[in-house]
Amino acid sequence: MGEVKLIATTQSLFCARIQWALKFKGVEYEFIEEDLRNKSPLLLESNRVYKKVPVLLHNGKSFPESLIILEYIDEVWKHNPLLPQDPSERALARFWAKFSDEKVIFGAFGACRTEGEQQEKAKEAALESLAFLEKQLEGKKFFGGEELGYLDLVVGWIPLWLGVMEEIGGIKLLEEERFPLLHEWSQNFHQIPLIKECLPPRDNLLSYFQASISYHRSLAAKKP
């Protein structure tokens, strides 16, 4: 099927979802660790518009943007489908993936990196967006149904990355009483071997978010 390479970092939640997808499909790939403070010519050439990870390299072509990469993987390797077959189910999965990336991730990060009144406001918005996701799990073990699917991979940052953000930010968003389904889903998700295999060490993430959140808070403190 042609060589597959993934330009990525171990810490990036956007890269993790691609590793999960490739493993889910049993596709062998070469992992190329990128240093984002010193971007390689390969990355700059493969993702000229955004210069970001992840980028998938396959058959001499490069594919940036994680959600687009997921769809590409699903279309090239058709066994073990990630997206549902039915168009309206596919539309729902895509809708919630977009919602998760636009509202949930940045909402949660916003709540974790701010302080005081700003944090209170951001927390409310983050909780609201998590509530929408909670609802999507009603009657299901995974977002994909009985098995893992596209949306599980997209939202798969929650168990580890959100936990770390919360710890550094000194805030709890995913409370078990409030989000029992998401809580249970998180446990089930992390039990899956191919998921666990691609998780970065928690300490690495702690350092990363410590630096990032401190930086954001110091910037905010400087503003008049």
**Contact code string over 24-63 relative to other proteins, x by CB under 8 A:** -------------------------x---------x-x-x
What does 160-181 look like in DSSP terms, one character per residue?
A: IIIHHHHHHHT---S-TTT-HH
CB 154 within 8 A of CB 101: yes
In the complex, least distance from residue 88 CB atom to other proteins, rounded to whole angstroms? 4
In the complex, least distance from residue 68 CB atom to other proteins, rounded to whole angstroms? 5
Query: What is the C-alpha to C-alpha distance for residues 207 and 221, in angstroms, rounded to an integer?
Result: 21
**Is the CB of 75 or the CB of 147 nearer to other proteins?**
75
**Is the CB of 95 or the CB of 215 nearer to other proteins?**
95
What is the DSSP code (8-state) at residue 57? Answer: E
Residues 6+ apart with CB under 8 A from 55: 6, 7, 8, 43, 46, 47, 62, 63, 64
**Is the CB of 76 or the CB of 181 nearer to other proteins?**
76
Site for other proteins in 73-132 (CB under 8 A): 75-76, 87-88, 90-92, 94-95, 98-99, 132
**Per CB under 8 A, 64 contacts other proteins:** yes
Residues 6+ apart with CB under 8 A from 89: none
Residue in the structure block whose two tokens are 């998921």 = 195
In the complex, least distance from residue 219 CB atom to other proteins, rounded to whole angstroms? 18
Q: Which residues bind other proteins (CB under 8 A)?
A: 49, 59, 61, 63-65, 68-69, 71-72, 75-76, 87-88, 90-92, 94-95, 98-99, 132
